[in-house]
């Protein structure tokens, strides 16, 4: 097929990121030509401040060197300015006469620094702060001059001032307003920042309006409206940026504050796309990098003819790139008459936090000194999480974080390189930083791919994101709230689940075709997810795909590090008879089980089982009356109980009996992730019901129902769902809650992060109406009816090379 011509005007971060995303989708669709005005490859513009401060070099902030363009068959024209877009002929023309045709055109001309139109602003030594040339000019000035003035007390101005001060210059910051970074910080945080910078030697002239640049050929000072003056050998204007859309406007494209684009990043000319700081989307022109990444991904999706992605705007956050100063802000941190504020301030330690809430949802946050939980607040703000269930501890961050001994007081940026960040995978800070720098990483998913940090339990995600933000700058690509199912598609979990129901997509093939999967057969990440979503949506008709199961689930044994398996028969409520113990002992002797252990889930685990012994062993266990304990499945694992009122002098209800009923109700059910239940016979909570996915605490007047606990690496205490009076109520609520979790959560999302994402209020609302609760419980019963009666022989077909003998239906349940 004849390739089309794709031309990119602008060799900056947004445009080249679009090409990177496009090459992932289809590397053979276009002949690609890139024009860049600067004589360099693509570099990380947001890291110019550390270059000015001599913390990084130009080479270290290069994202794509010239070899990258060669390797990807991209024609790069460095130092070439496109002066004309001839839309009728579909070609672009440069200032030196180069003409290149296009079938599709991307405009990514970025922005230009806003220069105050002051008398004398054209003198030598008056510059903006936008590119490598500006940095080189400032670095050269530091060799011969000592006094610098920076106009602008915003983010860019302070970073420029800090860099010049690190180069030995005497720096004064001039600001029109009364508060530094007044677009990113409130007054208390701004004042703490000013005091900290003054302690470092930076000077400030607040509420000063500039009137004239002094000097003959070179700047010597700056005069203000009140007649006062300040000396200056170098004057940096950092008062803002403006979208650079003059070229697009001259070509007749519709522009307002920028090039107006729709949700597919198309301009009013459908052959011309635009991304980055030069565009205006839904009335907004973005000046941060995170939105540019989102735009690039959407634009690439449509250039590759997938046509399913939409850009709907980006919620942004800000961090200052000044070493030793930690601040973070996001959203509406000022608030209004409809909002509430939660504030913490400790001047002695230099810590300040303010969270703005509206209807128990985070609308904005500003933090100074301790910012390690900024990513956590930011994600909840983007997700619209209801925080009412934990707002009393919200200000203290993820204080329940149990991973590797880290806590919110730890400054991740100040940790030594050998400090462990991800306890699950043993990943240290230095490993992550090195991967970020070596592979030019900007996203959490990329960190996970290269280091496995945050890829397991997820409790270190906030630390990894903070480290990512600190390393690449505050505008890194934060974890999106609409994360795709996997790399095969841009469709999210919610979009896929909604599509399965609304369009009655009853097979994995139908789902992949409808959502234009890039890999026709899917991958190891999406196949189990799609299999689960279809099984949940159509429990009576969908035929489960055993090959989309984890080996542990297919073999009904938990694979161990030596390649053998452990087998766990279910013991309902932890109850057993002497005969059952004899049966287990006889079976253990028969298969020469080298080790057995009584587990914390009130069962017996048999280790060292050979793969070929699994089918006959389960046959023997089945004949003895045992079913699978599913200790290896994405489903119900255990129901932990105490002895309750029958034996315990403190017991208030029959907790063991209720636990057995709950286990009989829920065993064999597929879930998005593992699921644990506990029933404690009194408020002393010996069964630890308040750290389970569904917990029951028996009290004199009935039963307290608790949900979304986690007793693993990241300990999370449950939220109180409600209080009921009868066992029948407990069973109905358990079935309804479980089904709502099954239908609403993403695959591999446990109840704890699910509740934190959607909010407890959503779950309570779904269960409080009796008819809706009953309907959920009935749907769960339908799924259970099939889960617990499907023939094992039929379910076992095609599983690895294991030949399972026909055994009793109940022996293995649904989880094949």
Domain CATH code at residue 29: 3.50.50.60
Binding residues for siroheme: 686
The SS3 call for residue 577 is coil
In the beta sheet, which residues pair with residue 300? none
Of 239, 261, 288, which marks where a domain is finished? 239
CA distance 125 to 485: 52
Q: What is the pLDDT of residue 482?
A: 62
> φ and ψ at 462, to 5 degrees?
-60, -40
Of 614, 633, 652, which marks where a domain is finished? 633
Give the total number of structural domains in the chain: 6
Same domain, 333 and 206: no
The SS3 call for residue 182 is coil
The residue among 586, 564, 550, 582 whose CA lies nearest residue 674 is 550
Q: List, edge to edge, every strand of the sheet that includes 317-319.
A: 317-319, 327-331, 361-368, 351-358, 340-346
Say if CB 695 and CB 709 are below 8 A apart: yes
CA distance 492 to 167: 47
Say if CB 288 and CB 89 are below 8 A apart: no
The residue among 704, 727, 729 whose CA lies nearest residue 657 is 727
Query: CA–CA distance from 578 to each of 298, 592, 626 (Å)?
Result: 63, 21, 14
Helices vs. strands in the chain: H and E counts, helices first: 24, 38
CA distance 75 to 229: 50
For residue 497, what are its two tokens? 């689940």
CA distance 122 to 237: 12
Domain annotation covers residue 478? no
CA distance 247 to 86: 11
Same domain, 279 and 225: no
pTM of the model: 0.66
Say if CB 187 and CB 195 are below 8 A apart: no
The Cβ of residue 615 has, within 10 Å, a number of other Cβ atoms equal to 18
Element (H, E) at 696: strand 694-699
The residue among 35, 38, 111, 20 whose CA lies nearest residue 440 is 20
Q: What is the pLDDT of residue 549?
A: 81
For residue 434, what are its two tokens? 């090195």
What is the chain's length? Answer: 816
Binding residues: 642, 648, 682, 686
- Dihedral angle of Cα 475, 478, 484, 487, to the nearest 10 degrees: 70
Sequence-separated (6 or more) residues with CB below 8 Å from residue 242: 111, 112, 114
Same domain, 628 and 649: no
Reading phi first (left if > 0) and then psi (alpha if -120 to 50, else beta), residue 653 is in: beta
Domain annotation covers residue 450? yes
Q: What CATH number did the domain enclosing 379 receive?
A: 3.30.390.30
Domain annotation covers residue 487? no
Same domain, 658 and 581: no
The SS3 call for residue 49 is helix
Domain annotation covers residue 804? no
Same domain, 654 and 756: yes
Of 571, 600, 633, which marks where a domain is finished? 633
Same domain, 574 and 605: yes
What is the per-residue burial (b if ≥16 Cβ within 10 Å, else e) of 429-466?
Answer: bebbbebbeeebbbbbbbbbebbebbbebbbbbbbbbb
DSSP 635: B
Same domain, 369 and 420: yes
DSSP 698: E
Q: What is the pLDDT of residue 323?
A: 60
Domain annotation covers residue 440? yes
- Dihedral angle of Cα 393, 398, 402, 406, to the nearest 10 degrees: -120
Domain annotation covers residue 799? no
Task: Give one DSSP letter per residue of 30-86, joined into a string.
Answer: EEEEEEESSSS-EE-GGGHHHHHTTSS-TGGGEEE-HHHHHHTTEEEEET--EEEEE
Domain annotation covers residue 460? yes
Sequence-separated (6 or more) residues with CB below 8 Å from residue 369: 192, 326, 327, 349, 350, 351, 352
Q: List, edge to edge, every strand of the sheet that includes 702-707.
A: 636-641, 675-680, 694-699, 702-707, 719-724
- Give the residue numbers spanning the domain of 339: 317-472
Q: What is the pLDDT of residue 414?
A: 59
Same domain, 396 and 451: yes
**pLDDT mean values, one per 10 residues, the chain (816 residues):** 92 95 93 96 88 88 91 96 96 96 97 94 95 94 95 93 94 95 90 93 96 96 96 95 96 97 96 97 87 92 90 80 76 90 89 93 91 80 85 74 35 67 75 85 79 69 75 55 78 92 93 90 89 92 85 80 88 88 94 90 89 90 87 87 86 89 89 93 91 94 93 82 94 96 92 88 93 94 69 34 31 30
Q: What is the pLDDT of residue 794?
A: 34
Q: What is the pLDDT of residue 122?
A: 95
For residue 125, what are its two tokens? 């030594």
Q: What CATH number did the domain enclosing 555 receive?
A: 3.30.70.3340
> φ and ψ at 45, to 5 degrees?
-65, -30
The SS3 call for residue 400 is coil
- Can you list the positions of beta strands (E) in 41-137? 42-43, 62-64, 74-78, 82-86, 91-94, 99-101, 104-107, 111-113, 126-127
Same domain, 694 and 767: yes
Binding residues for [4Fe-4S] cluster: 642, 648, 682, 686
Q: What is the pLDDT of residue 473?
A: 58
Cα-atom radius of gyration of the chain, to the nearest Å? 31
Burial class (CB in 10 A: 0-12, 13-18, 19+), 236: buried
CA distance 480 to 478: 6
Same domain, 684 and 731: yes
Sequence-separated (6 or more) residues with CB below 8 Å from residue 131: 38, 45, 48
CA distance 636 to 109: 54
The residue among 112, 516, 517, 64 whose CA lies nearest residue 285 is 112
Domain annotation covers residue 312? no
Q: What is the pLDDT of residue 769?
A: 92
Same domain, 340 and 467: yes
Same domain, 216 and 291: no
The SS3 call for residue 445 is helix
Task: Give one DSSP letter per residue of 199-235, joined into a string.
Answer: HTT-EEEET--EEEEEESSBEEEEEETTS-EEE-SEE
CA distance 69 to 493: 34
Q: What CATH number did the domain enclosing 727 receive?
A: 3.30.413.10
First to last CA, the chain: 45
CA distance 666 to 662: 6
The residue among 719, 722, 690 whose CA lies nearest residue 703 is 722
The residue among 127, 130, 184 whose CA lies nearest residue 151 is 127
* Beta-strand relationship, 351-358 and 340-346: antiparallel
The Cβ of residue 241 has, within 10 Å, a number of other Cβ atoms equal to 18
């Amino acid at each position: 097929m004849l390739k089309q011509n794709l031309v990119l005007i602008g060799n900056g971060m947004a445009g080249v990121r679009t090409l990177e995303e496009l090459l992932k989708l289809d590397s053979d669709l276009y002949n690609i030509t890139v024009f860049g005005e600067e004589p360099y490859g693509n570099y990380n513009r947001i890291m110019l401040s550390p270059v000015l401060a001599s913390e990084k070099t130009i080479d270290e902030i290069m994202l794509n060197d010239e070899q990258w363009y060669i390797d990807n068959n991209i024609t790069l024209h460095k130092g070439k300015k496109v002066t004309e877009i001839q839309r009728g002929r579909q070609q672009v023309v440069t200032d030196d006469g180069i003409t290149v045709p296009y079938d599709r055109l991307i405009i990514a001309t970025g922005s230009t620094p806003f220069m105050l139109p002051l008398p004398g602003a054209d003198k030598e030594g008056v510059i903006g702060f936008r590119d490598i040339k500006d940095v080189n000019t400032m670095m050269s000035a530091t060799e011969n001059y000592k006094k610098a003035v920076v106009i602008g007390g915003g983010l860019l101005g302070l970073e420029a001032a800090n860099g010049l001060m690190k180069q030995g210059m005497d720096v004064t910051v001039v600001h029109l307003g009364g508060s530094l970074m007044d677009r990113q910080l409130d007054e208390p945080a701004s004042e703490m920042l000013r005091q900290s910078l003054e302690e470092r030697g930076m000077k400030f002239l607040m509420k000063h309006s500039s009137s004239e640049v002094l000097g003959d050929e070179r700047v010597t000072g700056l005069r203000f409206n009140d007649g006062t003056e300040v000396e200056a050998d170098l004057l940096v204007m950092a008062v803002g940026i403006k979208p650079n859309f003059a070229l697009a406007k001259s070509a007749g494209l519709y522009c307002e504050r920028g090039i107006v684009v729709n949700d597919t990043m198309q301009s009013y000319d459908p052959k011309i796309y635009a991304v980055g700081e030069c565009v205006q989307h839904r009335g907004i022109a973005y000046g941060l990098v995170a939105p540019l990444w989102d735009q690039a991904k959407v634009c690439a999706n449509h250039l590759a003819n997938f046509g399913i992605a939409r850009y709907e705007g980006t919620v942004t956050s800000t961090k200052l790139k000044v070493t030793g100063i930690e601040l973070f802000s996001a959203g509406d941190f000022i608030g209004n008459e409809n909002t509430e504020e939660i504030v913490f301030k400790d001047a002695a330690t230099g810590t300040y936090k303010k969270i703005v809430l509206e209807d128990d949802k985070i609308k904005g946050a500003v933090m100074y000194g301790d910012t390690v939980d900024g990513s956590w607040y930011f994600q909840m703000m983007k997700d619209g999480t209801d925080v009412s269930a934990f707002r009393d501890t919200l200000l203290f961050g993820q204080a329940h974080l149990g991973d590797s001994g880290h806590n919110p007081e730890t400054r991740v940026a100040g940790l030594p390189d050998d400090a462990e960040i991800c306890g699950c995978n043993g990943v240290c800070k230095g490993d992550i930083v090195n991967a970020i720098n070596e592979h030019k990483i900007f996203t959490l998913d990329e960190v996970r791919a290269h280091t496995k940090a945050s890829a397991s339990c997820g409790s270190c995600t906030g630390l990894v994101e903070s480290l990512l933000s600190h390393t690449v700058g505050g505008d890194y690509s934060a974890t999106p709230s609409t994360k795709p199912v996997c790399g095969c598609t841009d469709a999210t979990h919610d979009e896929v689940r909604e599509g399965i129901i609304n369009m009655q997509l009853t097979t994995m093939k139908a789902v992949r075709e409808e959502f234009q999967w890039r890999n026709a057969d899917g991958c190891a990440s999406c196949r189990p997810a799609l299999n689960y979503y279809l099984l949940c949506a159509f429990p009576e008709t969908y035929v489960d795909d055993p090959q989309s199961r984890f080996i542990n689930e297919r073999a009904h044994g938990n694979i161990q590090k030596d390649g053998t398996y452990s087998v766990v028969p279910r013991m309902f409520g932890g109850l057993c008879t002497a005969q059952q113990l004899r049966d287990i002992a006889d079976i253990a002797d028969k298969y020469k089980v080298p080790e057995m252990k009584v587990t914390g889930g009130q069962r017996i685990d048999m280790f060292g089982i050979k793969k070929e012994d699994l089918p006959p062993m389960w046959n023997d266990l089945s004949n003895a009356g045992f079913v699978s304990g599913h200790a290896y499945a994405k489903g119900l694992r255990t129901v932990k109980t105490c002895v309750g009122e029958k034996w315990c002098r403190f017991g208030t209800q029959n907790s063991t009996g209720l636990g057995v009923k709950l286990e009989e109700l829920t065993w064999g059910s597929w879930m998005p992730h593992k699921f644990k239940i506990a029933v404690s016979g009194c408020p002393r909570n010996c069964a630890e019901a308040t750290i389970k996915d569904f917990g029951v605490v028996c009290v004199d007047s009935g039963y307290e129902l608790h949900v979304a606990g986690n007793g693993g690496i990241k300990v999370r205490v449950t939220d109180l769902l409600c209080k009921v009076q009868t066992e029948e109520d407990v069973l109905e609520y358990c079935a309804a809650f479980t089904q709502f979790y099954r239908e609403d959560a993403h695959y591999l999302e446990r109840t704890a992060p699910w509740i934190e994402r959607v909010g407890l209020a959503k779950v309570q609302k779904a269960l409080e109406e009796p008819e809706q609760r009953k309907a959920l419980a009935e749907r769960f019963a339908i799924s259970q009816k099939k889960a617990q009666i499907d023939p094992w022989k039929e379910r076992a077909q095609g599983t690895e090379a294991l030949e399972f003998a026909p055994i009793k239906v109940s022996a293995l349940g649904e989880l094949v």
